[in-house]
Structure 1
């Protein structure tokens, strides 16, 4: 059985207390990673990309004449493009609200852990919404660009060239917003992981 007696100094016979250095051998806990400034910048970029995407597709009207008959291409003619606009508008509104929430955490960091958890959940949801809308609109745009000879769907981008350029620019901007949302999910998850005590 181990003795609980404290060691004694052989010269004086008095008890020797362990040195402070031997008690503090454990390293200090790591500092929590605070990346809310990066979070604010990414969320602002999501807002800018979403707004750009919506504005570009809304202004994508073009009228061409084949003989005396006018043909008009506009986003309202496709349910996929309407869904795309709604989804990107929701993402833009969400990014404004979460940018303000991130700024409030920079000023008062007491709720940072709870907010990071909410961000992780909601960012995944908005990412799914934006990615599905981008894929849906991209599928319709691809048929417009390439056509489908198996079902006799003609390509229309050779006729409505300006309209198709607007659609392509809008899709590129929404794809950029999707990538930013992926980075936000990773950032929130990484920040939460660093707050877990080891």
Structure 2
């Protein structure tokens, strides 16, 4: 009679527990992208805050000096606050990424936290960019239906600073999307096949 013992497979006898796959390590790119997020947040805040301008405006037929500042619009104040939070977040997560490069056993756990918080920061940046962009568009084009005149023909510097700041914040939101994709791909590459 034939033996009921199965022949041993060399793959399964070499180790008793399967090893955890290493996956692809993209933490260096993560650090670079987080630094870019910090730079974009900082530039967007500085450009928005330095866009103050004072011009002569006719008010009931009388020329009056009227300033234009980001503080006069709640949307721009929210924009500056949101991008400041994004800058602080990027500093903290850049330092965390740098510390994890030397401690590989913490990478997967930290990646899950990064994905969660990156999505929240993306929502904050995107909402602030959209809100500020809407106000800037009304300043550029006006709104004839409600009688809001365009102001960018008078406050040229203020509008250029606002538009530039919003464009840089849009770049920051794209960087945040790339960070989310990178973290998700890194976790996916660690799943055993």
Tell me the TM-score normalised to structure 2 length: 0.89
Structure of higher CA gyration radius: 1
Which of 104, 107, 131 matches 2:99?
A: 104
Matched, 1:169 2:164: yes
Which of 155, 158, 170 matches 2:153?
A: 158
How many Å separate the matches in 1 of 2:89 and 2:5?
A: 64
Partner of 1:46 in structure 2?
A: 37
Which of 18, 23, 26 matches 2:10?
A: 23
How many Å separate the matches in 2 of 1:142 and 1:2?
A: 84
Query: 3-state SS of the aligned residue for 2:119?
Result: helix
Structure 2 stretches lacking a partner, 5+ long? 13-18
Q: Which range is displaced more, 67-76 or 84-93?
A: 67-76
Residue by residue, what CA displacement relative to the aligned partner does 1:119-168 show, whole Å, maximum 9, x if unpaired? 00000000000000000000000000000111111000000001000001
Q: 1:74 to 1:2 in 2, by over 3 A?
A: farther
How many Å separate the matches in 1 of 2:107 and 2:34?
A: 16
How many Å separate the matches in 1 of 2:184 and 2:21?
A: 17
Tell me the TM-score normalised to structure 1 length: 0.87
Return the offset for 1:3.
Answer: 3.4
Residue by residue, what CA displacement relative to the aligned partner does 1:46-74 show, whole Å, maximum 9, x if unpaired? 00000000000000100011364101100
Matched, 1:196 2:191: yes
Hey, which bits of structure 1, 4+ residues long, moved more than 6 A? none
Residue by residue, what CA displacement relative to the aligned partner does 1:81-134 show, whole Å, maximum 9, x if unpaired? 000000000000000000000000111111001000000000000000000000
Return the offset for 1:31.
Answer: 3.8
Query: 3-state SS of the aligned residue for 1:153?
Result: coil
Partner of 1:3 in structure 2?
A: 3
Structure 1 stretches lacking a partner, 5+ long? 7-16
Q: Which has the higher contact order (CA 8 A, sep 6+)?
A: 2
